[in-house]
Amino acid sequence: MKVLNYGSLNVDYVYSLDHIVQGGETILSSKMEVFCGGKGLNQSIALARAGVPVYHAGLVGEEGSILLDACRESGVDTSYVRQLDCKGGHTIIQVDAKGQNCIILYGGTNQMQTKEYIDEVLSNFGKDDFLILQNEVNLLDYIIDRGHDRGMKIVLNPSPFDEKLMACDLSKVYLFLLNEIEGEQFTGFSDVDQILTALAGKFPEARFVLTLGSEGALYYDGKEKIFQDIFPVKAVDTTAAGDTFTGFFIAALLEGTSIKEALRFAARASAIAVSRPGAAPSIPCIEEVKRALSLPK
């Protein structure tokens, strides 16, 4: 069984501010840092740091070498990633004094996937291999269809939520990991129980992890509901907290741990990521998470 994460790679330009800038307002940022990010890259790095051999696929641009280096340094196999001679994906991220963020996303090469490239990558994978996806690349509908044709188990983090997702046959998704805002956008409900019931009604073959920010996370598979509280930390930067949760949750499932334990493991890893600045650099490694949970090495 192999794990392929097909997704975005971004250079994140992160500006520290007292508060998120309002319409018409100009404020001076106290700090500007550049980090490796992108939901795809972050999740691949989280999987790799959690001990999973993971392949990444996607397209980087002219400035992509630092993204590839970051993946490789963490143990992600980048042999399927291609570099194009044009602008890659990047973000402008504002982080306020409470560690909350807001993000402007420029797609660049992340929005230049072709059917030929997708077919070529997926031809290396087959039945019961895992295909991890987010919504920061174009042709997501095609990737889902072809991955499903090959018998792959599709895990989707439908973020950022937009109308393109509605063009996808989401009945092919095995596991959804989403936050409560995305849950509301999918179902029209803001109440957590109603979101989960509606999701299970729409996608009866799937299972769901709904992350609730400071309120924890819930797993639901249409029958069993399991709650996981957060591990309280001083929030420095919430960027990549969800990606860290995703990577460590999937890693624990692949190890064969129970859902309850997988949620706990993911929540602990995510809390560590929140306590540090940046996207990819904030993601802990497995030893650190085990230590924090007092688990044997």
Residues that bind ligand RIB in the complex, under the rule CB under 6 A:
8, 10, 12, 37-39, 42, 91, 103, 105, 136, 239-240, 242-243, 279
Which residue in 106, 161, 120, 114 sits closest to 4, CA to CA?
Answer: 120
Q: How far is the CB of 233 from ligand RIB (least distance, A)?
A: 18
> Facing residues of 179 across strands?
211
For ligand RIB, which is the closer residue by CB, 39 or 172?
39
Q: How far is the CB of 282 from ligand RIB (least distance, A)?
A: 10
For ligand RIB, which is the closer residue by CB, 200 or 210?
210
Please give the C-alpha separations between residue 188 and each of 181, 183, 201, 207, in angstroms, as whole numbers. Answer: 10, 8, 13, 19
For ligand RIB, which is the closer residue by CB, 12 or 180?
12
Which residue in 153, 155, 211 sits closest to 183, CA to CA?
Answer: 211
Q: How far is the CB of 238 from ligand RIB (least distance, A)?
A: 9
Sheet holding 89-95, edge to edge: 31-37, 10-16, 89-95, 101-106
Q: How far is the CB of 242 from ligand RIB (least distance, A)?
A: 6
Which residues, 6 or more positions from 28, have their beta carbon under 8 angstroms from its beta carbon? none
- Nearest residue to ligand RIB, scored by beta-carbon proximity: 37
Q: Is 13 helix (H, G, I), strand (E, B) or coil?
A: strand
Q: How far is the CB of 14 from ligand RIB (least distance, A)?
A: 9
77 secondary structure, DSSP code: B
For ligand RIB, which is the closer residue by CB, 47 or 279?
279
For ligand RIB, which is the closer residue by CB, 67 or 131?
67
Based on its alpha-carbon atoms, the radius of gyration of the chain, rounded to whole angstroms, reads 18
Q: How far is the CB of 65 from ligand RIB (least distance, A)?
A: 17
Q: How far is the CB of 73 from ligand RIB (least distance, A)?
A: 16
Q: What's the CA dihedral at 239, 240, 242, 247 to 10 degrees? A: -170
For ligand RIB, which is the closer residue by CB, 211 or 239?
239
Question: What are the two backbone dihedrals, phi and then psi, of residue 192, each rounded to the nearest 5 degrees?
Answer: -60, -45
Q: How far is the CB of 46 from ligand RIB (least distance, A)?
A: 11
Q: Is 51 helix (H, G, I), strand (E, B) or coil?
A: coil
Which residue in 125, 245, 117 sits closest to 177, CA to CA?
Answer: 245
Please give the C-alpha separations between residue 252 and each of 96, 186, 212, 263, 269, in angstroms, as whole numbers. Answer: 32, 27, 20, 8, 11
For ligand RIB, which is the closer residue by CB, 10 or 211?
10
Greatest Cα pair distance, the chain, in angstroms, is 53
For ligand RIB, which is the closer residue by CB, 200 or 240?
240
